[in-house]
Structure 1
């Protein structure tokens, strides 16, 4: 193959930004809300927050709290980016550390 038959495509910041915008608005692209361990909040408080905000059963909330405590983090929700950002903000409002990330595929 000669150079004249080869097409090179380079991603630019504008292209990457556009891709991020498309991914953010595409409801088929799953995102996650992750709650991180901290040295401040009691385990009982984290269970209460998970039950109160997400409506988890006591068992599910305890399981997630133990994952946060033992593994350093836990995925507490998965869905559209905008909803996950709302969940992360709510966790911040409760005093918990939370972030949003793309779900692994």
Structure 2
């Protein structure tokens, strides 16, 4: 779990508190929205998470 928080801090640049909150959300519910943006940027984020050994997907946000 500390590794996931580390990845969120180092890659996304979130605070330690935000990284911990997101990590706990993933741990407890199986998912968290870590980033939003255009499709190309989100695909790069997904690839980066896979590079860190984490499972990540992208989904269209509900309008």
Shift of 1:96: 0.3
Secondary structure, aligned partner of 1:47: helix
Secondary structure, aligned partner of 1:64: helix
For structure 2, the 5+ residue unaligned runs are none
Structure with the larger strand share: 1
For structure 1, the 5+ residue unaligned runs are 1-42
Structure with the larger helix share: 2
What is the CA–CA distance in structure 2 between the aligned matches of 1:78 and 1:88, rounded to whole Å? 11
Secondary structure, aligned partner of 1:82: helix
What is the CA–CA distance in structure 1 between the aligned matches of 2:62 and 2:41, rounded to whole Å? 17
What do you get for the CA RMSD once the two structures are aligned?
Answer: 0.4
Shift of 1:100: 0.9
TM-score relative to the length of structure 1: 0.59
Give the match for residue 57 of structure 2.
99
What is the CA–CA distance in structure 1 between the aligned matches of 2:62 and 2:18, rounded to whole Å? 22
| Structure 2 residue 22 is matched with structure 1 residue 64 | yes
Poorly superposed stretches of 4+, deviation over 4 Å: none
Shift of 1:95: 0.3
Give the match for residue 54 of structure 1.
12
What is the CA–CA distance in structure 2 between the aligned matches of 1:99 and 1:70, rounded to whole Å? 17
